[in-house]
Structure formats: structure tokens, C-alpha cells
Structure 1
Amino acid sequence: KAHIQGNLNMGQSRKDLLNIIAALIPYIGYPRALNAIAVLDSLTL
């Protein structure tokens, strides 16, 4: 959560972070990617 908030504070958009999470799916797995998207949603919506 802190890393996502830090990236948002540095000016990255929600779309940029979603693209990064999507690119990481093969490495971190789908369940962790869903968790990351849920955290991103909680901070941006």
C-alpha cells in the first residue's frame, strides 16, 4: 500500500500503475495482482 501511495505521490497515474501490475502478472501471479488492484482501487476511487 505504501509503495502504491508513493508512486501516486510522485505523479504516476492510476492507468500507469494498472499497466505495471498487468505486466507483473506472470511474475507475481494472478491472486497477488488482484490484491494489488484492490489496494490501488482503495487509494484512487
Structure 2
Amino acid sequence: MMSPKHLYIGGGEATRSKIQLPTNVKIIPSITGLLGGIALWRD
């Protein structure tokens, strides 16, 4: 069982979503995940 405090949804189809999301769910651009992965490898 999983109960995250925040949920981030990304990808091309996520931006087309027209449903009302809870306040702890955010739609983010795909580039955000890529930049996060790069930041992890820099250290």
C-alpha cells in the first residue's frame, strides 16, 4: 500500500488532462524529469 504526500505527473498526455486534480497532485513538464536525472548524475 502506498500513500504519497505529493504526486507529480508528467508527459505529453498528462498536459491534455481536463479533470480536476486534488491539491497534492501536480502536472509537470517532461523536461523536469530529465533535468532531475541529470542533476543526480552530476554529483
Band of TM-score, shorter chain: 0.3 to 0.5
Larger radius of gyration: 2
Q: Which has the higher helix share?
A: 1
Q: Calculate the TM-score normalised by the size of structure 2.
A: 0.37
Q: Calculate the TM-score normalised by the size of structure 1.
A: 0.35
Q: Which has the higher strand share?
A: 2
The one of the two structures with greater contact order (alpha-carbon pairs below 8 A, sep at least 6) is 1
